[in-house]
Structures are given as structure tokens and as C-alpha cells.
Amino acid sequence: MSDSVESRPGAAAGRKRPGGPFRHVGARGVAGIFLVAALVFAAVGAAAGNVFYLRLGTEALILSGLAMSVDLLLGYTGLLSLGQAMFFGLGAYASAVLLRDYHTGFWGALVLTELLVVPVAVVAGAIAIRARGVYFILITFGLAQVIGKVIYNTRWLGGSDGMVGIPVVHAPFGIFRLDLGNPVSFFLLVLAIVAVLYVALGYLMNTPFGRTLGAIRSNESRVRYLGFDPWRYKLAAYVLAGMLAAFSGALYPMLRGFVSPELMSFSMSADAVIMVILGGVGTLIGPIYGSVILIGLKTLISGWTEHHQIAIGIIFMLAVIFMPRGLIGLVARRASRVVRPEADQ
Amino acid sequence: MSQALEYFQFVLAPQMLNGLTIGVAVVLVAIGLSVIFGLLDVVNMAHGEFYALGAYISTALYALGVDFWFALLLAPLIMLPIGYAIERGLIQRVYQHEQRHILTLLLTVGLSIVLQDAFDLVFGPNTLRPDNPIPGVTEFFGIYIPNYRLFLLGAGAVVVTGTWLVIFRTRLGAMIRAAAFDRDMSASLGVPVLRVYAGTFAFGVALAGLAGVLLAPIYSVFPTMGHDFVLLAFTAVIVGGIGSFQGAVIAGLLLTQIQAISSLFISPHWTEPLVFGIMVAVLVVRPQGLFAWVGRG
């Protein structure tokens, strides 16, 4: 479904406003198309009563939050995290414990998870950001490996089996409440959450704070000469990304009813990076598409063979070499090609 | 007094010897990583998978009737062209990019994903256990050591010394170091830089393969065998100091000793966080590594 959507949006959006900055017009158009496509998906899924695909779509949306958090670091701050699944997994485990053992309910689980994760992110970030360049990457990688192994060996958290039996909850919104056991309403709720996060992050990246992050990505020492402290900004971005990943993770047990150490494994962190690269670094909407594409590809290839990782890995390497700006980059380039002759007229 | 001696003989010494075996294993994996990281400035996230590839090639060779000693020679030779082709086909494509650190790292992440699943596809997910080529034990002062582990200690020393000699005492090594130090200058002096880069990568990959053949009889062979090892190898390279061979060797041995001895007092589950904590502390306090002063040649 998403494939047929890919080729149109940039071109369409670009033609409408030839004079505007393509990237943002294009991105907005692509985001709009995504929203419409997701709503159509929900309607078709609801009509067909297909719980499997609705839940799979919800999972892709949840993972897009993790992918956006990687993009926030890589695309906007210039920091590659190879351990972002650590926060996703911490969020998932925290939410699972809160829901199952403390019956905190939907909002309680989300808020308390964030409160638990912020200090972890501050400490981890303070350590990781002190190290520069590839060392930052290796620390995020190592930190996630070690924390993952500690959880794997903690019997209280279910060890290698993980935790099962997370109760199905309701999401109260003042006058009404959503039953998260209903796959359609859960899908729509997560879609709304992702949309809000996308708009909020897009706005934040246009504030002086976000622009400073971009400046750090381009030239850190010049930012320092201008009197900013890059370390603080990077730490803020890291904590924000950690909170975002943990937030997405906290939604996961509500959907699947279980958590397992795989949620904070390296392959999860790598998946998040693959989503960002496939979709388009530094676009925010790219990772959302990337998440849908990756989950779609995995499901599709799993129909033929269980060895989908070979195909995913090859596609990822090809994307790194030939498509460094991702699908959104391709779309934006096509949009500018369409637009240029009109602009000349 | 005799109690202390008994503690040493039956508890501490076997634990330290065990740690030493793991230490040699880590050093063997780390030495190739150090070549690729220190000279090419490429973070090879697929290094653990190359280590596994060496082990798998050796099991395939055994199945063909090749004996251990011949496989020890043949497996790294098979891996040389593989490493060369991967450098020319993948790494070199993004080597000139301004963000080459991130891009080369991403490519090797992709490669590790592909290789890990390929092992599973070709050889199956089950653990393979090659026969021990040197069975039996030797007794030293009441401490029993399996012969193969003794051999491994010697082999590790030979590999490390040999690598050091190649890099620092041969004309080829001088060319490699020159190309790593100043690409343009070396090129203008007639060093075939691109081929040297690919050759260096292939050399590091072959070293990983050699480690795979050597360690397969002890740690057995399974698709994710490299993944569990690579963090420890990276830790050794970082704690030792990038580009410092002796540093990586000392750090590899030291860290695994810390791991082995501390596991007598704390749960083994916590030794890994401990070693990783040391790496983090080194990176924060002394980013050039603990043993960078040991020299680079």
C-alpha cells in the first residue's frame, strides 16, 4: 500500500507551490499523504475485521516513534546512536511493570515511565556525549548491550522469557475513554500520538533550540566560538530522544501484552537506524515511512523465507551507498525536477 | 599459609588461566579490529561476523576432510579475497564522503546483519562443535591445563608478534602506515593507496578468520558467536589506545583478568558491566587510551 503512495506526494506538493522551499513543502505533502493512507488502512482494516494487520500497522507506528528519536539525534544533531533500543526497551519494561504490578493505568504508565527514564537518559547522555565521534557511537552500542544483558539476567523481570500477562487497559480522555483492546481504536490513538509527536518535533526543530542543534551538526567548533555550549544542547537532544524512544516503548506492552529482552537488543537498535536511512535522514517523516516500509518488507519476505534479515541487510547497504538521503530524498529530488521548468516560466 | 596456597591452586589459578584463555581469544579478535580501526579509521561492526566466518569456513573444511593445521592456513587465505572484495565493493564507495565514519559503520552494520543470517541459512542455527585437535591435559605444579589452551597461548603470541612485525618491520607495513598517515602524499610517492587500503582491510579480516579457526574448538560455532565477542574486543582496542598494538594486547589480557578474578566475588552477570564501565571511564578520563604511551612501533 505504501509503495504506490511513495512516488506521488512530492511531485504533487511541489507543483502546487513552485516557489516555496521544496523540502518543507514536500515533507508536509508526504506527511499528509501518510495520514490519509493510514486512515484508509484503518478503515479497510476495520471493515475487513483484520486484527493481524491492524496490530502490525500499530506496531509500525509505535516503532516510528523509536525511528524518529534516532533521526532527532542523527539527522538533526549529527549523533549516531546504535543503542536507541535501550530506551525503547526500558520504556517497555517500565510500562509493563507499572501496568501489571502497580495497575497505574494508561496515563500513569506513560508519565511514570518518562519520569524513570529521564534520569537514566541524563546520566547515559552525560557519559556518551563526553566521548566524541565514533566513541559516542560505541558507547551507545555498548551501553545498550550491557543494560540489555543485565535485564536478560534479572529474574524479577522475567529473564530471557520476558514478561507476559500485561493487562489490556483503557485510555481515558476526560469525557470518553478508548478501549485499547479494540485494534481499530488503538491504531487511531497511536496514529494521533505519532502525528502530534511529528508536528511537535517539527516545530521544535524550527525553534532557536532546534536550529542550534543543526548548527552543531554542521560545525560544532563554530557554534562554540559563537558562545553556545554544544555539550548542553547535545545532552538535551539525547535526553529528548531517550524520552521519545521510551514513550514509544511504553506503548508496546499495551499492544502486544508482553515484553522481552529482544526489545532492547542490537537488532532493534539497528532496525531503528535502518528505518531512518531507508526513509530519509533529517526529515522526521522519512523515519515514519521507513518504519512502515521495514515492517512491511519483513512481513512480505517472511511469507517466502524466514531469512528476511539477509534481504533487509542488503537493501540497507544499497540504501547507504546509493540513496544516502533515503526515499524522501528521492521524492524531493523528483519534486524539484518537476518544479524547475515551471519556475522558469 | 597452606590454605592460601590451596586457594591459589584450586580457585584462583584455574580462574586466572581460564581468564587468560579468554584474554588470548579477545586479543586475537581485537588485533584485526585494531588494524582496521587504527590504520583505516573504519569502525568495523562486522568484525565479529568475520571471526564467525573463519570458524564456519574451518568447520566446512573439516567436513571436506581437511585437517586442523591445514585449515588454520587455508581459512585466512580464503578470507583475504573476501575482505579485499568487501573493501573495494562497499567501504571504498563511501570512504571519501565527509561523514565516512558514520557511513562505513552503517555499511558494516548491514554486513553483519547479512552475514549472521547467512550463517543461519547455510549452516543452520545449531551449535557446531569441531573436534579438539590437541586433546589431553598437562600438569603444572598440581594445576591441570588442557593442551589445546596451552597451544592457544603460544599461537596467540605468534599471531600478535607476526602482525606487529608485518606492520612495523616490513616495507609493506611501512606502505600501509604511510597510506594511513597521509593518503595524498603516499599516493604521490607511488604507493597504490586504494589497493593498500583494501589489502589492509583484507588483512584485518583474515586475522579475524584466523581467530575464528583457533577458537572454534573451545567456544564452538553458532551464528551469533561473533556478536557476543565484538564488544569485548572493541573495549580492548579502546582501553589500549587506538593504533597501539601493545596497548590492545595488554588491555585485552588485563580486562579479561579483571573479569575472571572479579567473578569470584561478584555474580558473573555483573562482570560485563564492570569491564564496560572501565572502558567508559577510560574514554571519559583518558580518551587516548591507557597504554598509548607503550609506543606505536
CB contact under 8 Å between B117 and A127, yes or no, is no
Spell out which residues of chain A touch residue B113, defining contact as CB-CB under 8 Å: 267, 270, 309-310, 312-313, 316
Q: DSSP string spanning B49-70?
A: HHHHHHHHHHHHHHHTT--HHH
Report CB contact under 8 Å: A142, B102.
no
**pLDDT for position A334:** 58
Q: What is the pLDDT of residues B216-231, one digit of tens each?
A: 998 889 998 988 788 8
Question: Do B111 and A307 make contact, defined as CB atoms within 8 angstroms?
Answer: no
Contact A30, A9 (CB under 8 A): yes
* B:166-225 residues touching chain A, CB 8 A cutoff: none
Q: Which of residues 152-211 of A touch B (CB under 8 A)?
A: 153
The DSSP H or E segment spanning A338 is helix A326-344
Burial of B43: CB neighbours in 10 Å, binned 0-12, 13-18, 19+: buried
What per-residue confidence (pLDDT) applies to A10?
Answer: 39
Residue A344's alpha-carbon distances to A15, A18, A19, B170, in angstroms, are 13, 10, 10, 62
Contact B238, A135 (CB under 8 A): yes
- Look at B120 and A270 and tell me if their CB atoms are within 8 Å: no
Which residues 6+ apart lie within 8 Å of A126 measured at CB? A235
If you ran DSSP here, which 8-state letter would residue A168 be given?
P
Cβ–Cβ gap B110/A135 under 8 Å: no
Q: What percent of chain B has pLDDT over 90?
A: 46
CB environment A114-143: b (16+ within 10 A), e (fewer): bebbeebbeebbebbbbbeebbbbbbbbbb
What is residue B1's predicted lDDT score, i.e. its pLDDT?
Answer: 65
Instruction: Scan residues 270-289 of A and list those with Cβ closer than 8 Å to B.
Output: 270, 273-274, 277
Distance from CA of A314 to the nearest CA of B (A): 7
Half-sphere exposure of A323 (CA within 13 A, CB side): 22
Under DSSP, is residue B96 helix (H, G, I), strand (E, B) or coil?
coil
How many whole angstroms separate alpha carbon B206 and alpha carbon B135?
26
Q: A173: phi > 0 → left, psi -120 to 50 → alpha, else beta; which?
A: beta
Q: Which of A132, A138, A320 sits opposite B238 (nearest CB)?
A: A138
Query: Which residues in chain A have Cβ-Cβ distances shorter than 8 Å to B287?
Result: 131-132, 135
Cβ–Cβ gap A138/B114 under 8 Å: no
Residue B273 has pLDDT above 80, yes or no: yes
- Residue B279 with chain A: CB contacts under 8 Å: 142
**CB of A194 within 8 A of CB of A66?**
no
Taking chain A (345 residues) in runs of 10, the rounded mean pLDDT of each run is 39 40 60 91 90 93 96 93 95 95 92 96 92 86 89 87 88 84 92 95 93 91 91 95 97 93 93 94 92 94 88 94 83 54 36
Grid cell listed for B91: 567501504
- Which residues in chain A are contacts of B89 at CB distance < 8 A? none
> What pLDDT, on the 0 to 100 scale, is given for residue B121?
93
> Which residues on neighbouring strands pair with residue B241, listed in sequence order?
none
Chain B environment of A312 (Cβ under 8 Å) = 113
Cell of A39: 486512515
pLDDT of residue A27: 67
The reported pLDDT for the residue numbered B138 is 87
**B chain contacts of residue A267, beta-carbon cutoff 8 Å:** 113
What's the average model confidence in pLDDT over B180-207?
Answer: 91
Surface of B (112-171) touching A: CB under 8 A: 112-114, 116-118, 120-121
How many whole angstroms separate alpha carbon A290 and alpha carbon A285? 9
Strand ranges inside chain B, DSSP E: 137-140, 143-146
**What residues have CB less than 8 Å from A15, skipping those under 6 apart?**
A338, A339, A342
Is the per-residue pLDDT at B212 higher than 90?
Answer: yes
In the predicted structure, residue B233 carries a pLDDT above the cut 80: yes
Q: Is A222 on the interface with B (CB under 8 A)?
A: no
Q: Does B271 touch chain A (CB under 8 A)?
A: no
Q: Kindly tell me the burial class for residue B174, based on how many C-beta atoms sit within 10 Å of its own C-beta (0-12, 13-18, 19 or more).
A: middle
pLDDT at B98: 80
Residue of chain B minimizing CA distance to A124:
B280
Contact between B127 and B220 (Cβ < 8 Å): yes
The minimum CA-CA distance between B105 and chain A, rounded to whole Å, is: 9
Whether A309 and B102 lie within 8 Å, measured CB to CB: no
**C-alpha span between B103 and A294 (Å, rounded):** 20
| Calpha distance B31→B156 (Å, rounded) | 10
Residue carrying C-alpha cell 537498535: A269
Rounded to whole angstroms, how far apart are CA atoms B53 and B56?
Answer: 5
Q: Which residues of B touch A270 (CB under 8 A)?
A: 109, 113
Q: What is the pLDDT of residue B293?
A: 62
CA dihedral B81, B84, B85, B89 (to 10 degrees): 180
Rounded CA separation B170/B164 (Å): 10
Q: Where are the beta strands (DSSP E) in B85-233?
A: 137-140, 143-146
Is B231 within 8 Å of chain A by CB? yes
Taking the C-alpha atoms of residue B171 and residue A121, their distance in angstroms, rounded to an integer, is: 49
| CB-closest option in B90, B106, B269 to A277 | B106
Inter-residue contact A26 to A38 (CB < 8 Å): no
B31 and B189 in contact (C-beta within 8 Å)?
no
Would you give the end-to-end CA distance of chain B in angstroms? 44
Residues of B in contact with A82 (CB under 8 A): 45, 105, 109
pLDDT in tens, B134-178: 888 888 777 788 899 899 999 999 999 999 999 889 998 899 889
